[in-house]
């Protein structure tokens, strides 16, 4: 028969092990600080929440926020861990999608993707969030819980891109676009990088004895508030058009077979839109007689009916035959109208 002391020792060991076994079978609970984000498993509940979105030069950000909650059960978190909000705070359920498809064709105009700053604001406090990136886009929704101080009932999202901040009231779905206002009225449906010939016309005014081999191609024009990493001044836009031109030859003819031919030494664009010169040229390339690029013009109001193409060339005489007044160097103006509508 076992001694009483052995029974007591065994019972003591069993009692000591029971709390450990129970603790190992329960979900763990981690400490949470204000500003912590907890990845959600299977999305978050945004029933009844208004839909809201913000437009950026890189894509469309759709955001919704659910009702604040004080604790998270293990089965709603990806980490399978219970969470309790810090004293005096709650968790705000947040979900967003970031779709870049609509803006991709304007990448040559908008320029390289810039960083996005995304901040949740509630009860006077700000909480930085992990923003969308080119690697985190698509239709798959991001969903998580943000630990915030206060009630979490008045929540807004601030998104900054290239120095301009927009805000979205997640309780009402209303947005304040700030200086990015014009991006919401932007119509890019007809924009294409495809070049098409400029309308046939008389490009030079040098008399009947002069001949110029000039060709021109252009894209459709597009009106945008953002170009090459910069926003247009508030209340204005940029008008953008791709343009290529080539002056392949220039000749002057005289009597009795006399004549002179010229080659292009240099060229310069002086085209205007509503009287304004271009402020920059994107993807610019070319040579003396050839020029290609995307012209960017400042624009107030609606797009004008036409672009006034004007290019000047410095020419050097390459050959002369017979008795003709043909200086060794001369300037040539090429001008015409390109309809934009």
Tens of pLDDT along 57-72? 999 999 999 999 999 9
Q: Which of 144, 45, 38, 148 is nearest to 90 (CA)?
A: 148
Reported as a pLDDT band with limits 50, 70 and 90, residue 2 is very low
Q: Which of 249, 230, 246, 250 is nearest to 311 (CA)?
A: 246
**Residue tagged 């969903």 (tokens):** 143
Query: Average pLDDT, stretch 313-325?
Result: 95
DSSP-H helix ranges across the chain? 4-25, 107-110
The secondary structure of residue 112, as a DSSP letter, is: S
The three state secondary structure string of 32-79 is CCCCCEEEECCCCCCCCCCCEEEEECCEEEEEEECCCECEECHHHECC
What count of Cα atoms within 13 Å lies in the side-chain half-sphere of residue 164? 23
The pLDDT, as a whole number, for residue 156 is: 97
Residues of the chain with CATH 2.60.40: 196-339
Q: Which of 30, 126, 34 is nearest to 78 (CA)?
A: 30
Measure the CA–CA gap between 18 and 24, rounded to whole angstroms.
10
Q: Which of 154, 31, 29, 129 is nearest to 86 (CA)?
A: 31
pLDDT over 90 at 93, yes or no: yes
Reported as a pLDDT band with limits 50, 70 and 90, residue 22 is very low
pLDDT over 80 at 137, yes or no: no
Reported as a pLDDT band with limits 50, 70 and 90, residue 134 is low
Q: What percent of the chain has pLDDT over 90?
A: 78
CATH for 196-339 is 2.60.40
What count of Cα atoms within 13 Å lies in the side-chain half-sphere of residue 30? 12
pLDDT over 60 at 24, yes or no: no
Query: Average pLDDT, stretch 175-189?
Result: 94
Contact 185, 314 (CB under 8 A): no
Structure token digits, residue 332? 């040539």
The pLDDT, as a whole number, for residue 28 is: 57
Structure token digits, residue 336? 């015409």
Reported as a pLDDT band with limits 50, 70 and 90, residue 214 is very high
Q: How many CB atoms lie within 10 A of CB 212?
A: 17
Measure the CA–CA gap between 160 and 186, rounded to whole angstroms.
19
Measure the CA–CA gap between 97 and 109, rounded to whole angstroms.
24
Q: Which of 219, 11, 3, 49 is nearest to 143 (CA)?
A: 49
């Amino acid at each position: 028969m076992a001694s009483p002391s052995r029974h007591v020792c065994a019972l003591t060991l069993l009692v000591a092990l029971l709390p450990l076994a129970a603790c190992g079978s329960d979900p763990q609970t981690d400490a949470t600080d204000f500003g912590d984000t907890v990845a959600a498993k299977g999305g978050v509940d945004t029933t009844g929440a208004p839909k809201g979105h913000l437009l950026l030069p890189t894509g469309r950000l759709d955001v919704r926020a659910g009702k604040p909650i004080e604790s998270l059960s293990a089965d709603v978190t990806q980490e399978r861990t219970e969470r309790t909000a810090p004293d005096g705070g709650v968790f705000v359920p947040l979900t967003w999608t970031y779709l870049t498809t609509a803006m991709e064709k304007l990448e040559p105009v908008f320029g390289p993707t810039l960083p996005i700053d995304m901040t949740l604001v509630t009860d006077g406090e700000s909480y930085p969030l992990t923003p969308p990136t080119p690697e985190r886009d698509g239709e798959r929704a991001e969903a998580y819980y943000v630990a915030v101080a206060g009630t979490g009932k008045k929540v807004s999202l601030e998104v900054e891109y290239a120095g301009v901040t927009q805000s979205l009231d997640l309780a009402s779905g209303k947005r304040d676009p700030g200086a990015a206002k014009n991006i919401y009225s932007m119509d890019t449906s007809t924009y294409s990088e495809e070049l098409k010939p400029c309308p046939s016309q008389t490009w030079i005014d040098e008399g009947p004895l002069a001949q110029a081999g000039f060709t021109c191609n252009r894209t459709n024009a597009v009106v945008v508030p953002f170009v090459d990493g910069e926003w247009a001044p508030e209340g204005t836009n940029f008008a953008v058009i791709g343009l290529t031109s080539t002056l392949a030859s220039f000749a002057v003819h005289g009597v009795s077979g006399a004549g002179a031919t010229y080659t292009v030494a240099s060229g310069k664009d002086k085209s205007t839109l509503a009287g304004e010169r271009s402020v920059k040229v994107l993807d610019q390339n070319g040579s003396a007689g050839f020029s290609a690029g995307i012209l960017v013009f400042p624009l107030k109001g609606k797009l004008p009916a036409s672009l006034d193409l004007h290019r000047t060339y410095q020419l050097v005489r390459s050959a002369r035959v017979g008795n003709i007044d043909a200086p060794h160097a001369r300037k040539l103006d090429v001008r015409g109208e390109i309809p934009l509508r």
